[in-house]
C-alpha cells in the first residue's frame, strides 16, 4: 500500500483544523470558552501525607481533576472499592504505595484515614458536601 505524501497529510490536517473551528461566535451561545493552563504552567507542589519511621511520603497539594475523572469512570465500571487501589497508586506513586503495602506496622485506622484523605483531595470537598445534601 502506498503511503500518503506528507503534503497531502498536512493539507488534510489543515482542513480538519479549519472545520473544527466554530462558525458561531462563543458570545452568541451565552458562554465564553474555558481556558485550561498547559501542564507546564501548573506547579507540582507536594505535601506530606504520612511517615513510615523517618521516611516522608507526599501527595500533590492539588490533585489534578483528570485524576478524579479517571477514578470516577473506573468506579462506575468496577465499584469504588476496586477503583481505590489505582487511585492510591496514581496519587501516592508506586514507591509510597509499596511502602504502605509492605508496612507491618500500618493499622486499619491509619489506612482508612489515608484512603479517605486521598479520595477527599481527589474529588474535592464539593463531592462530599453534595452527597450530604442529597441525603438530607
Q: Is residue 21 left, alpha or beta, with left meaning phi > 0 and alpha meaning psi from -120 to 50? A: beta
Residue 35: the pLDDT is 87
Residue 135: the pLDDT is 47
Residues 6+ apart with CB under 8 A from 72: 123
Residue 17: the pLDDT is 55
**Per-residue pLDDT tens digits of the chain, which is 136 residues long:** 555 555 545 555 555 555 555 555 656 778 888 888 787 766 789 999 999 999 999 999 999 999 999 999 999 999 999 999 999 999 999 999 999 999 999 999 999 999 999 999 999 865 445 555 544 4
The rounded distance, in Å, linking the Cα atoms of 43 and 61 is 10
The rounded distance, in Å, linking the Cα atoms of 53 and 56 is 8
Residue 102: the pLDDT is 97
pTM score, whole prediction: 0.64
- Write phi, then psi, for 3 (nearest 5 degrees): -80, 155
Residue 26: the pLDDT is 53
> Measuring CA to CA, which residue among 53, 50, 67 is closest to residue 123?
67
Helix axis angle, 108-123 relative to 65-78, nearest 10°?
120
> Which residue shows C-alpha cell 511517615?
51
Amino acid at each position: 500500500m502506498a503511503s500518503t505524501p506528507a503534503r497531502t497529510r498536512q493539507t488534510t490536517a489543515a482542513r480538519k483544523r479549519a472545520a473544527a473551528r466554530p462558525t458561531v461566535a462563543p458570545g452568541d451561545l451565552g458562554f465564553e470558552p474555558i481556558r485550561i493552563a498547559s501542564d507546564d504552567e501548573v506547579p507540582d507542589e507536594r505535601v506530606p501525607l504520612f511517615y513510615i519511621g523517618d521516611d516522608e511520603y507526599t501527595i500533590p497539594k492539588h490533585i489534578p481533576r483528570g485524576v478524579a475523572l479517571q477514578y470516577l469512570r473506573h468506579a462506575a465500571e468496577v465499584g469504588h472499592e476496586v477503583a481505590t487501589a489505582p487511585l492510591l497508586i496514581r496519587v501516592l506513586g508506586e514507591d509510597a504505595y509499596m511502602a504502605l503495602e509492605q508496612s507491618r506496622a500500618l493499622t486499619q485506622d491509619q489506612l482508612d484515614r489515608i484512603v479517605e484523605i486521598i479520595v477527599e483531595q481527589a474529588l474535592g470537598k464539593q463531592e462530599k458536601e453534595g452527597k450530604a445534601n442529597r441525603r438530607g
